[in-house]
């Protein structure tokens, strides 16, 4: 998208964000474009997942108001003394990719957050559906001097950080599904994707991405598993800027702690939050399926699965857990 179109669409969103009707004519006059051009931009915004409808004689309206992300608000809400750089983006392919494309320029804690992703990605090559203004899509960079061997279990620590941030804004009753899904009422609320780069013997450079469902439009499609969002489980409206600040604070604090002490300080909390503890599950590892009972995690963060009275540890990113 060219910069001019992007600027016009941002202004249209700004006008509609409050949830009131705006006529095509008034928008056109304000932005110095024709009504037909306004209509073209609105179509493009619909494709980004904005739930805009139009009523003859009244104009355009968002189904629900949106609180847009603002870096000044997020920074003001943050409580960490020493925070990394924050970039607030409008529409991007993927916040993880955005940071990966400029790894050499980044310092620990550098984060970005976007209103929408056009190629948001999840684990195991899945797509992360990322409609505009409906959720939080954020990524943070961290380099671990100890290399690949020190980042085992990192995703579990990040899961604990996400739950901690949710608790801080008053969202309770959320759990963790191994290795790093955040669940509520048996459905997926948030996911974590860690992408790591590094040579043997050198630092491991990680981009940690979090997608948190806040208020997805009811007609959201393309998500291949049961999902839930904060709008269904939190009392009152949640301030996305505050939530983003809380997530960034908890994530940065968790990364500092993980760098100093590894997974150990997170184990007890993770075990308390384990959604499948003692349940019968199946593990899918590529073509291989193992049935068993979940017995928590070992001290390295591997899943313990009991089959015929014997517990075995399962590592690795290709394992997924489903209720049997």
Residues at the contact surface with ligand BTN, assessed by CB under 6 A: 94-96, 117, 120-123, 126, 128, 137-139, 181, 191-193, 209-211
Distance of closest approach, residue 119 Cβ to ligand BTN, in angstroms: 7
The DSSP symbol for 99 reads H
Q: Show the tokens assigned to 191.
A: 């996911």
Whether 244 and 138 have beta carbons less than 8 Å apart is answered as: yes
Of the two residues 23 and 71, which places its CB atom closer to ligand BTN in the complex? 71
3-class state of residue 281 by DSSP: strand
Distance of closest approach, residue 200 Cβ to ligand BTN, in angstroms: 26
Query: Parallel, antiparallel, or unpaired: how do β-strands 288-297 and 280-285 relate?
Result: antiparallel
Cα–Cα distance, 48 to 42 (Å, whole number)? 10
Of the two residues 162 and 263, which places its CB atom closer to ligand BTN in the complex? 162
188 is catalytic: yes
Of the two residues 137 and 270, which places its CB atom closer to ligand BTN in the complex? 137
Distance of closest approach, residue 206 Cβ to ligand BTN, in angstroms: 13
Whether 116 and 95 have beta carbons less than 8 Å apart is answered as: no
3-class state of residue 111 by DSSP: strand
Distance of closest approach, residue 125 Cβ to ligand BTN, in angstroms: 9
295 is catalytic: no
Q: Show the tokens assigned to 267.
A: 């184990």
Of the two residues 101 and 278, which places its CB atom closer to ligand BTN in the complex? 101
Of the two residues 120 and 262, which places its CB atom closer to ligand BTN in the complex? 120
Distance of closest approach, residue 137 Cβ to ligand BTN, in angstroms: 4
Which residue is closest to ligand BTN by CB?
A: 191
Of the two residues 16 and 151, which places its CB atom closer to ligand BTN in the complex? 151
The DSSP code sequence of 283-295 is EEETTEEEEEEEE
Distance of closest approach, residue 218 Cβ to ligand BTN, in angstroms: 21
SS3 content of the chain, % helix, strand, coil (to 5): 35, 30, 35
Q: Shortest CA distance to 192 belongs to which of 90, 50, 301? A: 301
3-class state of residue 94 by DSSP: coil
Greatest CA separation for the chain: 73
Whether 50 and 38 have beta carbons less than 8 Å apart is answered as: no
Catalytic residue among 43, 172, 322, 323: 322
Catalytic residue among 9, 121, 188, 240: 188
Q: Shortest CA distance to 85 belongs to which of 118, 54, 45, 113? A: 113
Catalytic residue among 15, 123, 277, 312: 123
123 is catalytic: yes
| CA dihedral (241, 244, 248, 250) positive or negative | positive
Residues involved in catalysis:
123, 188, 322
């Amino acid at each position: 998208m060219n910069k001019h179109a992007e600027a016009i669409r941002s202004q249209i969103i700004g006008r509609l964000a409050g949830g009131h009707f705006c006529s095509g004519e008034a928008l056109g006059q304000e932005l110095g474009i024709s009504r037909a051009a306004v209509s073209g931009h609105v179509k493009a915004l619909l494709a980004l997942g904005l739930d805009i409808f139009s009523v003859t004689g009244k104009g355009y309206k968002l189904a629900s108001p949106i609180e847009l992300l603002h870096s000044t608000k997020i920074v003001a809400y943050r409580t960490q003394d020493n925070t990394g750089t924050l970039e607030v983006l409008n529409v991007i392919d993927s916040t993880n990719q955005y940071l990966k494309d400029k790894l050499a320029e980044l310092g620990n804690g550098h984060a970005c957050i976007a209103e929408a992703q056009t190629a948001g990605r999840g684990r195991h090559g899945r797509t992360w559906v990322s409609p505009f203004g409906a959720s939080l899509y954020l990524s943070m960079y961290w380099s671990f001097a100890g290399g690949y061997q020190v980042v085992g279990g990192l995703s579990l620590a990040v899961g604990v950080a996400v739950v901690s941030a949710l608790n801080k804004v008053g969202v309770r009753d959320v759990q963790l599904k191994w290795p790093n899904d955040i669940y509520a009422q048996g459905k997926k609320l948030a996911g974590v994707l860690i992408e790591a780069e590094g040579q043997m013997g050198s630092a491991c450079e990680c981009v940690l991405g979090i997608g948190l469902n806040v208020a997805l439009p009811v007609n959201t499609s393309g998500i291949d598993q049961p999902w839930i969002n904060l709008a269904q489980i939190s009392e009152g409206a949640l301030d996305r800027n505050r939530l983003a600040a809380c997530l960034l604070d908890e994530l940065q604090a968790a990364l500092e702690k993980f760098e100093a002490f590894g997974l150990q300080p997170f184990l007890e909390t993770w075990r308390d939050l384990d959604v499948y503890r003692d349940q019968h599950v199946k593990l899918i590892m590529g073509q291989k399926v193992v049935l068993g009972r979940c017995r928590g995690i070992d001290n390295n963060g591997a899943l313990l699965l009991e089959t015929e009275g014997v517990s075995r540890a399962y590592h690795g990113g290709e394992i997924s857990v489903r209720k049997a």
